[in-house]
Amino acid sequence: MQKGSVLLAIMAGLLVGSPAQAEVKLSGSFVATRACPATQSIKSAKNPGNIATEVGKTYDLLAGNKDLPTHYLIEVPGAEPDRRWVKVTCGHLADGEATEAPAAVPGKDAGKAAASASGKPEYVLALSWQPAFCETKSSKPECRAQTVQGFDATHFTLHGLWPQPNGNFYCGVKASDRANDKPGRWDRLPAVTLDAATRQELETVMPGTQSALERHEWIKHGTCSGKNQQDFFADAVRLAREVNASPVQALFAKSVGGELTSGQIRDAFDAAFGAGAGNRVRVSCVNDRGRRLIGEVTLGLTGPIEAGSSLSGLMLAAAATDNAGCPKGLVDAVGRQ
């Protein structure tokens, strides 16, 4: 056999013996009901950082390993790499069934929010309970700066406003910016331009601006909103303000140190924003050394989001969900507990 033929045969054998991991693209969210290894590879079970799913936490769903998957590919924030495989038996899909996620096409899809069946854009408003976030991210500047007198001790903080469907990311974004965003090098992303009043309010309601979170949120989500930076963040700030001026915030503030159920939280949204609003809310929890903490609430909205849009109207226009997420968790206080 000639030398070239031998080389080709060896290469073919290697390819047959080491198939690439298949991916069937999916969208939606995966809610962990068990603490399971989150591996870089299904076959090798390699797990850099010994990452495991956290019970009650919701993760972005990226793919399955086949049409009827045994494993899901999820995004685990803070893991390196953040794309991890978990067994399907470790949780459930937030919406009952995942669907294919059409990728945004730079240029063609830039500046377009995803539309619902009614033709109206859909969003998720994500609001964090910052003391719980800081239990596991205590080295971040915004966590080192926390005080019991601070806004984020008793109010929701803004994580983001996310055009849907999940997977509608990075519209028209340069490859170099995506390369910095993925591993969290947010300080290398372009600055966000806002008027003085919006900047001041954003820095209060989004403490993560101290880690350049607003740059990440714009690059990944805002670019798909169809709005400029000023309008996108002004909308997000205004909607967060409505929640923080409502009985929902009052419930959390008086419950610090105690537990709340997802049912109580949903009832508070009904009281604040109209009957049925709570059915558009999901609760996510984080596991802190055996304590289950309420980390975030996400609100389903159907737009368009305009200057006169009320949060109540946006929520009640969205599709309801039977999945309330984490059933119960502690409302954490500021400081390492």
Q: What SS3 string covers the chain?
A: CCHHHHHHHHHHHHHHHCCCCCCEECECEEEECCCCECECCCCCCCCCCCCECCCCCEEEEEEECCCCCCEEEEECCCCCCCEEEEEHHHEEECCCCCECCCCCCCCCCCCCCCECCCCCEEEEEEEECHHHHHHHCCCCHHHHCCCCCCHHHCCCEEEEEEECCCCCCCCCCCHHHHHHHCCCCHHHCCCCCCCHHHHHHHHHHCHHHHHCHHHHHHHHCHHHCCCCHHHHHHHHHHHHHHHHCCHHHHHHHHCCCCEEEHHHHHHHHHHHHCCCHHHHEEEEEEEECCEEEEEEEEEEEECCCCCCCCHHHHHHCCCCCCCCECCEEECCCCCCC
Closest CA to 27 of 66, 59, 60: 60
Catalytic residue among 54, 159, 216, 296: 159
CB atoms within 10 A of CB 97: 7
Query: Which pLDDT band holds residue 68 (cuts at 50, 70, 90)?
Result: low
% of the chain with per-residue pLDDT over 70: 85
Rounded Cα–Cα distance for residues 249 and 188 (Å): 34
pLDDT of res. 23: 77
Catalytic residue among 71, 155, 216, 221: 221
Over range 12-29, report the average pLDDT: 55
CB proximity list for 68: less than 8 A, separation 6 or greater: none
Does this model's pTM top 0.75? My answer is no
Q: Is 23 a catalytic residue?
A: no
Q: Is 221 a catalytic residue?
A: yes
* Span of 10-19, 88-97, 250-259, 267-276 with lowest mean pLDDT: 10-19
Higher pLDDT: 188 or 100? It is: 188
If you average pLDDT over every residue of the chain, what do you get? 86
Query: Which pLDDT band holds residue 17 (cuts at 50, 70, 90)?
Result: very low
Query: Which pLDDT band holds residue 202 (cuts at 50, 70, 90)?
Result: very high
Catalytic residue among 122, 135, 142, 217: 217
pLDDT of res. 116: 54
The residue with tokens 């980390």 is: 295
* Span of 50-64, 87-101, 195-209, 270-284 with lowest mean pLDDT: 87-101
Over range 116-129, report the average pLDDT: 86
Query: Which pLDDT band holds residue 94 (cuts at 50, 70, 90)?
Result: low
| Residue 26 pLDDT exceeds 90 | no
| Residue 18 pLDDT exceeds 70 | no
**Contact at 8 Å (CB) between 260 and 272?**
no
pLDDT of res. 88: 86
| Residue 210 pLDDT exceeds 60 | yes
Q: Is 159 a catalytic residue?
A: yes
The residue with tokens 């537990």 is: 259
| Residue 288 pLDDT exceeds 70 | yes
